[in-house]
Amino acid sequence: MKIELASSYGFCYGVKRAIDIAQTHPGSATYGPLIHNKDEIKRLKDNFDIGLVNNLQEAQKVDSIVIRTHGIPKKELKKLKEEGKQIINATCPYVTTPQQIVEKMSSEGYSIVIFGDENHPEIKGVRSYAKDERDAFVVLNEEDLDNLPLKSKVAIVAQTTRKPQDFLKIVNALVLKAKEVRVFNTICNATFENQDAAADLAKRADIMIVIGGKHSSNTKQLHSICKNYCQDSYLIENEAELDFEWFEGKELCGISAGASTPDWIVQNVVNKIKALAN
């Protein structure tokens, strides 16, 4: 059986940057998981004593706080600063951009529409930058726009890991509902590249292995895309989740990985697949 890696996969710029930042501040703690990868978070804890706090109360125990790649709500960031914490901001620049857009456009009187998952930490953070969160609406599809109390002026941004074609559907529907629509494409280029590469490989593969955190939005998107072209597509977090039976009778195994998946985990998976194949 042949094993082929997607032409683009794994760590994006924002994740690499966040890990580099965290590693230069040993003994600090991240506010929420730095990235959506449990194994990499464990490595940071074991090798650099990078702790984890999940809320303001837990943050009382540490002096240095690393802000996660997804960002955090504006009020919580302000509170940490007021309490005199050393703030090490590892928010991905691609996430900072929609935060700034939402803050500016809402101050100019626009209703805000955010395409994404309202329970995702990135979206919670982005929405918090609206002047009035009651005028900032999170949607997942065109139907969610129905009956929203939108103003005549609307600005729309997207979660960085969403599919562009889905974003366009919502934009097109929104144009029919408002007199003025300001569209800001805040989807990350690395997301495009990884998704396109995974699709190209999945079209040829007998089996696709997508590596990444089960709670990672971009990894779940990759798995969904692969599943469209290759029915035998599996999402795993590490090599321990591989099953020998998946590979029986397969000739080409394609591998992709989410933006929070380090190369060392990908290599462990490749080595395990080679062992299973032999």
* Domain residue limits, the chain: 2-9+189-277, 13-91, 94-183
Question: Residue 46: is it exposed, middle or buried by C-beta count within 10 angstroms (0-12/13-18/19+)?
Answer: exposed
Region 234-252 average pLDDT: 96
Amino acid letter, 222: L
Fold classification of 94-183 is: Cobalt-precorrin-4 Transmethylase; domain 1 (3.40.1010)
Domain covering 13-91 in this structure, CATH number: 3.40.50.11270
Contact 54, 39 (CB under 8 A): no
Alpha-helical runs (H) found in the chain = 13-23, 38-48, 56-59, 74-82, 93-107, 121-127, 164-175, 189-202, 217-229, 263-277
Q: Does 103 participate in catalysis according to the annotation?
A: no
| DSSP 8-state code for residue 243 | -
Kindly state the percentage of the chain with pLDDT values over 70: 100
Taking the CA atoms of 262, 29, 215 and 228 in sequence, report the sign of the dihedral they define.
Answer: negative
Region 182-196 average pLDDT: 91
| DSSP 8-state code for residue 24 | T
Selected from 3.30.1330.10, 3.90.950.20, 3.40.1010.20, 3.80.30.20, the CATH number assigned to the domain covering 2-9+189-277 reads 3.40.1010.20
**Residue 278 predicted with pLDDT over 80:** no
pLDDT the model gives residue 192: 84
Region 125-140 average pLDDT: 97
| DSSP 8-state code for residue 85 | P
- Rounded CA-CA distance 125/97 in Å is 12
What the block records as the tokens of 156 is: 């729309």
Which of 40, 122, 237, 239 is catalytic? The answer is 122
pTM for this predicted structure? 0.86
Per CATH, 2-9+189-277 and 94-183 having the same topology is answered: yes
**Residue 4 predicted with pLDDT over 80:** yes
